[in-house]
Structure 1
Amino acid sequence: MLLTEAEGKALLRQAGLHTPTGLVIESPAELEAAGAPPVPLPAYVKAQVLHGNRGRQGLVKRVSNHAELAETVRVMLGRSDQHGQSVRSLLIEPLVETNQLEYLSLGYDTRQRRLVARYSPQGGQGMDDRGHSLTIVELESRRSPTAFPPQPELLPIVTALHQVITSHDAVLVEVNPLAQTEQGWVCLDTKVELEDSASFRHPEWQQYGQRSNLGRPETERERQAHLASRRDHRGVAGESFIEFEGGDIGVMASGGGASILAMDALMAAGLRPANYTEYSGNPTREKVATLAKVVLSIPNLKGLYVVGSNANFTDIYETLSGVVDGLLASGYAHQPGFVMLVRRGGPRWQEAFAMVRERLADTAIAFTLLGPEYPIVDTATKLREMMTAPTQRSGPPQRSIPTPPSTSTPPCDGHSD
């Protein structure tokens, strides 16, 4: 879970770090009630959204007088960032005089599989372009750091950030820029991400409300999918669910690496996914059916893309039965030209394919069933061919289990589920 700058700074202050003394408001009326001016001027007005690069979007403004402040507050509230998140609150902070801006963050590195600190003597905007210049220092999760070789003066700051990481189950605490002033180091901006799965240990997180790492409120379908996945203990089906605006391909993927590979294949084929979701770990038929209904409640779909790796223990017959249950319960079962592509392998996959052919025989759905020998990277191209074939616009639906295309590239299936 991502926090806003103001929320993250509250955690930094709890750890003894210094931040500018600011004011959070949600309406122009709050600014008027705070008096004129609420903070020393000149000041910065910052939109409290969850995405970065706010300055480049005009969501961080410097103001010199009260008239500029009032106008900036009026204009900025209600705007949206480049990802569509509405600006519902603003942080107003006084200008901090400094000649030195540095970068410092603590987070878990998935490659090194441990906690690391990242440091650069040059902070501020453009860090995405300067990431290669960061100095990385490995840290112990259970032990406070005792040295920080890149900048020994920052050891107390690193220690405080370590406290934030361990006390609040954070996976990332970034301070950028970290300013050196006459009064000491000041955290001018911060990004904090908390580990969602640790929420049971932190009842205080309820103050943050529902949000997603996409930097927007959770959609109703995302909420329904998460609830469906947690209906019982067996497997997952919808624990990861992201809805994309404007897509027309429903996605039900399986197997972590294979799921990402399938999404990459869709994009490379020029198709537009309407969602991303996974089911794996041998979920029940009912759980998969519920997830399928959520996916197929998305309007204006042209097809359903059911792609997964070669399963070790997931029952392909039971899970595909759930997919078909959800499909037949949707309006797309009677929509001419709607297509479905399935690529699966694992326990009972041949039996599962026979079941699909039998149950969809009298529907308008055109479907293609691909076995474990078919490369995942080629499935999206096959789906595109199905969508553009003349028989998809008129005439009977196609049903086939084609052989793999001739290719010198071996099948790539990602991880097994």
Structure 2
Amino acid sequence: MDLLRFITCGSVDDGKSTLIGRLLYDSKSILVDQLEAIERASKTKNQGDGGGIDLALLTDGLRSEREQGITIDVAYRYFQTPVRKFIIVDAPGHIQYTRNMVTGASNCQLAIVLIDARNGVVEQTRRHSLIASLLGIPHIVVAINKMDLVDYAQDAFSDICIQYAELAKKLNVSQVSFIPMSALNGDNVVDRSANMPWYEGPTLLEHLETVELSNDTNLTLPRFPVQYVIRPQTTELHDYRGYAGKINSGAFRVGDAVTVLPSAQTSTISRIEFNEQDLTEAEAGQSVILHLFDDIDISRGDLIVRSDTQPIVAQNVEGMLCWMDTKELKVGSKYVLQVGTARTRCSIREIPYRLNIETYEHVEEVESLKLNDLAKVVLRTAQPVAFDTYALNRTNGGAILIDETSNVTVGAVMLEGET
């Protein structure tokens, strides 16, 4: 059974938490004690006015979220059907929490962009769609919610489809699906709605269960970031030397010629260990121990690749940055860049442009970035870094910037190439 990670995003009060609650409730994925707790909380919130269960309380877990009626932090929920397992990422809608959305979406394969049927495409729709596009999320579902408040009118649905199609064209997003629904009433979430007979497509759950995932993982570029070098100090295992880590993409086989980067030393895989067993082949997602025929100098942060599929190795790199700190980023500032397990100091050489969220136009002559800004940056690293372009290989093309003094992650970078 495969796993789908998906994120819900959109503007404030578009119904993200309610949609997730409805999805869990109607698919019978809520434990009895959880349901009882939510029912008690709903009664307290409604203060005996006869209101029904508040499904948004399933995800709005923080006290401040319940008090304000908004989502602040990223919430994760897990469920499964007979067809597939799911991890749901509920992202905040407020603009000041955009960095939380970037963090939550970085590993997702699908994004549900909620749109209020009464309001159509708004600024946060544009912002979150842009982030989903930059993060390379391959599947976009536009959930046009609150259709009950526009009398389930097909024209309202069609108008928003046209609006978003123009937006998707600007972002070069091709795989977009549109589903009209009412999360509050359960229309087209799990069960098909009798209120919209004009809609002949799948419900949201049907779409989540059937969306094709086989093409989302890069299987052609074997990448193995070394996390730990295993060298037991015992007489019985004095010849043992293994390199532990998780295969980010592609597959490795015993006998493969490999290159260790950034040193460019070469060797051949002699053995692959997995769960105390020897394998002839291991693929993306598996945590294994690789053994090489040659004793060469390898340490945490090095990248083992198959010799016939070399990544970029450079010190001058460029990429799209989402700035995630309240302190401004300025040209000349110094940070730690982490790509996979590799870390190196870097400086901001240039900010070619900042993206205007409303128009997607490039704003040039920028010297600094503020919280939640999206911009193209050029970095100079102290040591060469090995990476693929983000568009080609998300797992080896994503990086983070870390503040040296506080060790806080201050930026997310989608690497685009060498300058």
TM-score (structure 2 length as normaliser): 0.26
More helix by share: 1
TM-score (structure 1 length as normaliser): 0.26
More strand by share: 2
Larger Rg: 1
